[in-house]
Structure 1
Amino acid sequence: MESTEFDASQYEFFPFGDAADLPPGERWFIDVEDRPVMVANLGGKYYAIADVCTHDDGPLGDGDIDGCEIICPRHGARFDLKTGEALTLPAVTRTMVYPVRERDGKLEIGILKK
């Protein structure tokens, strides 16, 4: 399994579950620093994106996934799962993404060091 591409030295990582419990094609919803986050396993690569559409603060994580894009279920804005970039209207502002890695069978999510 692969982790997402970030400079790991800039992050502090925290375990949040067993990799075996998140098979390809599945997603989890977790809280990171009191913010909702959706974590997805796409073909053995993990992505974590804020579960908030920047257009109207609606839930993003329940949207359809098309390649490496997630589509907001409310108004159809698309976001890049790798970068959080808003790709289509009505969203114009990126959303947060987080690095995810697997260590010894555990999934870890990264928070920027302060």
Structure 2
Amino acid sequence: MSGAWTFVCAGAELLPGEMKSVFDETTGTPILVLNLDGELYALEDVCSHEDFELSAGIFEPADGTIECVLHGAKFDVRDGRALCAPAYEPVAKFPVKREDDGSVWTRDDRE
């Protein structure tokens, strides 16, 4: 079980339209944090179609999606749901918090 939060970055380092990947040392999970119009979202940094990092893909803030460069699967960054083939399963979504000092944190909260 997880519980420890993972530091992502200072808030000023993750501007709208940008993304940053981190590694949750507690669970061994790669996590991708995306800034969509000032709202922060965190997804597992692994395409559900094939084991490939989403952080290598294309983040489209205009439609709130990220596309895996390997086979073109797209996911909604707000909830992780798969939007087109070849992916049919969602990617895991994780909590994100912003501290008073502006720092950004996330964690793999799966049991």
TM-score by length of 1: 0.79
Q: Give the secondary structure class of the aligned counterpart of 1:112.
A: coil
In structure 1, how many angstroms separate the alpha carbons of the residues matched to 2:6 and 2:50? 30
1:75-101 Cα offsets, whole Å, 9 max, x none, are 111111111111110011111111212
Q: Does the Cα contact within 8 Å between 1:63 and 1:71 map onto a contact in 2? A: yes
Aligned residue for 1:14?
A: 5
Matched, 1:71 2:63: no
Structure 2 spans left out of the alignment, 5+ residues = none
Structure 1 spans left out of the alignment, 5+ residues = 1-10
* 1:25 Cα deviation from its structure 2 partner: 2.0
In structure 1, how many angstroms separate the alpha carbons of the residues matched to 2:15 and 2:97? 14
Equivalent residue pairs, number? 104
Q: Does the Cα contact within 8 Å between 2:6 and 2:107 map onto a contact in 1? A: no
Q: Does the Cα contact within 8 Å between 1:15 and 1:106 map onto a contact in 2? A: no
Aligned residue for 2:40?
A: 46
* 1:28 Cα deviation from its structure 2 partner: 1.0
Matched, 1:89 2:80: no
Higher strand content, 1 or 2: 1
CA RMSD of aligned residues (A): 2.0
**Moved segments of 4+, more than 3 Å:** none
* Identity value in percent: 35
Q: Give the secondary structure class of the aligned counterpart of 1:61.
A: helix
Aligned residue for 1:8?
A: none
Q: Give the secondary structure class of the aligned counterpart of 1:39.
A: strand
TM-score by length of 2: 0.81
Q: Give the secondary structure class of the aligned counterpart of 1:29.
A: strand
